[in-house]
Structure 1
Amino acid sequence: MKYVIVFLVIIANTFALEIKGNMILGEKNEVIPLKEYKRIVVYNFGAVELLYKIGAGEKIVGVANHNKKIWPEEKTKLIPLAGGVSKPSIEKILSFNPDLVIFNIMGNQSEELKKFGIPSITFVNRSLNDILKNTLVLGKITNKEKESLDLVEELTNKLNLIKNGEKIEGKALILYSDSPPTSFAKDSLPVEILEQIGLEVILPKGGKKSIVSSEYILRENPKYIIGTRGINKREEIIKSIPLIEETDAFKDGNIYLIDSTEIMRASHRVFDEIENIYKILKGDSNERS
């Protein structure tokens, strides 16, 4: 019964993979049979990590080229490379003789693969809800349904503990880049993460990634300023924002860095990082950059 409750909580998401009858619908309107797949080429690293977490890692026969660590590194580093994420090679894919290809949103060769009778699907985790729902789908197509249900319950409980615990209040600014200071979009995963722990994330009006002026930062006076993605040092944030010393974030020493690999890859490990960020901002951790 507990599994049914968990599924009902996350089923409303419209961006994740979707099961309709005996078929699965992908991000780019792909439709594939709902069945077990045993030889999977994966171009989405979040999907790779989730497959290993539910015990289906041995079904991955190829993974996209990469220069960053993919959990669990001791196993993923041994997977043969299948070419670039943005321009997957049909020839390379065919060399693995896959029965399924999982693409990243950045690149897709579904139409070409249809000529060879190979099903494919585009995998995207834009939100925490996406991660949970897609985990259940991965479990169904790898004969690891129980393991996926257990993982979803574990992640949901972890998030609920944080949401029901002591709130971290105040305004927060999270930066995508420091030159110039640029914020994430409202519907991005980093913004959702900070909101989950109780913060009010400030976002200037503008496009998908908006430049944040010093005037805006001074006017909003965030309690926390957090850098990620292309920002490597705390000092880079301080140098990029004139008069940053006038903000509460600077005065209270609340300027931090977050490893973008942990929060942008959008696997189960995001939930661990939420817990880590929560502890850092509460002052319960020594991991301060």
Structure 2
Amino acid sequence: SALLCAAASMRANVDLILAANQKDMAAAQARGLSGAMLDRLLLDDARIEGIAAAMEAVAALDNPVGQVSESWERPNGLRIERVRVPLGVIGIIYESRPNVTADAAALCLRSGNAVILRGGSESFHSSRALHDCLVEGLNAAQLPEGAVQLVPTTDRAAVGYMLGEMMEFIDVIIPRGGKSLIERVQRDARVPVMGHLEGLVHVYIDGKADLAMARDIVVNAKMRRTGICGAAETVLIDRQCLATHLKPIVEDLIALDCEVRGDAEAQAADPRIVPASEADWTTEYLDAIVAIRIVDGVDGAIDHIARYGSQHTDSIV
């Protein structure tokens, strides 16, 4: 009920959340942040509705606490069960995406955990407005306000304090953001860390892939939100469908103002493609840029991903 009440509060306070977000957006624009960063930061009516709907979706999930995920009996008759229990207090450190404030709080509460949220300074006002709605939900459900805490400062020293001075209070740290943030957390934390280093997502188009489906998936994977770690950065195309699939996919991307880079074979097939360098295969653009490489089937795609990928998210069409 806390999550449902928080979602209702977000819908009732859209104007306050938008006003807070405008403060963050104005400060970010004054600092000259990139278009990708501004897109991460921006909230509008549709995105706030999406955040509220996500809260309700999490609330509808089965309660994992106390579930028996595995059980077995020893020869001596002793029965052993693996039971899901909360981790305790989770510290989540993230950057400029204010929706993470709500998403992280919802997942932690649903799994029986308390959470300390430390968002990026860019989204400070937006996160505070969302946190106010979360607190309203906690109060409505008669849960302690301290179950979801937001670090009340933009001082970067707070991150260091969470990583190195709160071992008695935080059971695990989860970073969510760019490579530099995650590297710092993994380097400096004195508590356990759960996290990936970077996105670098691949989409592989197999020679037998349906063209219409492949086009839709590539456009969605790359252009839906270019500034998130789950956005596609590299498209691998099976040489068997080079003649039929490459140009339509490139056409779709260019029509959406996406810069398309590629290897020599891709360039030869479509002169609109900009030459890719070796660095492109390991670059997380977080922008409207994509790299295309032609490979020999699924084995060629696997070889490329094994060499250059981050093991974050990869897909086969």
| TM-score (structure 1 length as normaliser) | 0.30
TM-score normalised by the chain length of structure 2: 0.28
- Structure with max Cα Rg: 2
